[in-house]
Chain A
Amino acid sequence: QVQLVQSGSELKKPGASVKVSCKASGYTFTSYAINWVRQAPGQGLEWMGGINTNSGNPTYAQGLTGRFVFSLDTSVSTAYLQISSLKAEDTAVYYCARVRGAFDIWGQGTMVTVSP
């Protein structure tokens, strides 16, 4: 079936980096963009940006600093979100989602906790 499977929870110290993966299956990976959304504890959904799975061209939400990088490995149908120089405020659940008119398929979410 069509699904996105994300990598597991991460506990990192401030200043470290993390790379979250989002593996697609059940459809042609390059047919639809992948977008990233996060939800900090007690907060709403925040759109972070997306990546064109054909061209690899990323688009980032305004205000999302250069610490966030979207990338792809189309050979394994996987999108990645890398966050460097982690801060406590990066603590959140990070979701990838397929864009087919709307965000119709979501990954299960990856909890990233940044704590000393």
Chain B
Amino acid sequence: DIQLTQSPSFLSASVGDRVTITCRASQGISSYLAWYQKKPGKAPNLLIYAASTLQSGVPSRFSGSGSGTEFTLTIGSLQPEDFAAYYCQVLNLYPYTFGQGTKLEIK
């Protein structure tokens, strides 16, 4: 099974900052990676699929890149509503494992 390792696990930043979260796969997964935002009490929200395709309705300050084993999620200019947890997920074959998550907090 493919394992996903996100870094960092916790990130403290300010409104207006540019932040990057990394997701590393234990073996190559081409571009079969998605990113989700998770807020307390809400269902996860798909941000990026196929590593770099922005889901409809998601603000353009979110972007994804990478292929193979290393992927990044970048938030161009943090807004107050962006403080949440973020998860990557592999989607080439079952199991569709999630990374352990990155909690983005206000500095």
Q: Which A residues form the contact surface with B (CB < 8 A)?
A: 35, 37, 39, 44-47, 49-50, 59, 61-62, 95, 97, 99, 101-104, 106-109
| Residues of chain B in range 42-80 having any CB-CB distance to chain A below 8 Å | 43-46, 49-50, 55
Interface size of B in residues (CB-CB distance below 8 Å): 23
Q: Knowing A44-B100, A47-B95, say if A104 contacts B43 (CB, 8 Å).
A: no
Instruction: Please indicate the chain A residues that have their CB under 8 angstroms from the CB of B38 in the complex.
Output: 39, 45
Among B43, B46, B55, B87, max chain A CB count under 10 A is at B43
Task: Looking at the assembled complex, report how far the CB atom of B5 sits from the nearest CB atom of chain A, in whole angstroms.
Answer: 12
| Residue contact B49 to A102, C-beta cutoff 8 Å | yes
Q: Which 9 A-B pairs have the closest CB atoms?
A: A102-B34, A102-B49, A106-B43, A44-B101, A45-B98, A47-B96, A101-B49, A59-B94, A104-B46
B84-100 to A contact mask, C-beta < 8 Å, 1/0: 01010101001111111
Q: Provide the main secondary structure of the chain B interface.
A: loop
| Residue contact B98 to A44, C-beta cutoff 8 Å | yes
Instruction: Please indicate the chain A residues that have their CB under 8 angstroms from the CB of B100 in the complex.
Output: 44
| Residue contact A103 to B44, C-beta cutoff 8 Å | yes
7 contacts between A and B (CB under 8 A): A37-B98, A45-B38, A46-B98, A95-B44, A101-B49, A102-B34, A102-B46
Q: Knowing A45-B44, A45-B87, A95-B44, say if A104 contacts B55 (CB, 8 Å).
A: yes
Instruction: Please indicate the chain A residues that have their CB under 8 angstroms from the CB of B96 in the complex.
Output: 35, 47, 50, 103
Instruction: Please indicate the chain A residues that have their CB under 8 angstroms from the CB of B1 in the complex.
Output: 62
Instruction: Please indicate the chain A residues that have their CB under 8 angstroms from the CB of B99 in the complex.
Output: 44
Assembly CA distance A37 to B97 (angstroms): 10
Assembly CA distance A55 to B44 (angstroms): 27
| Residue contact A102 to B91, C-beta cutoff 8 Å | yes
| Residue contact B89 to A102, C-beta cutoff 8 Å | yes
Instruction: Please indicate the chain A residues that have their CB under 8 angstroms from the CB of B94 in the complex.
Output: 49-50, 59
| Residue contact A109 to B50, C-beta cutoff 8 Å | no
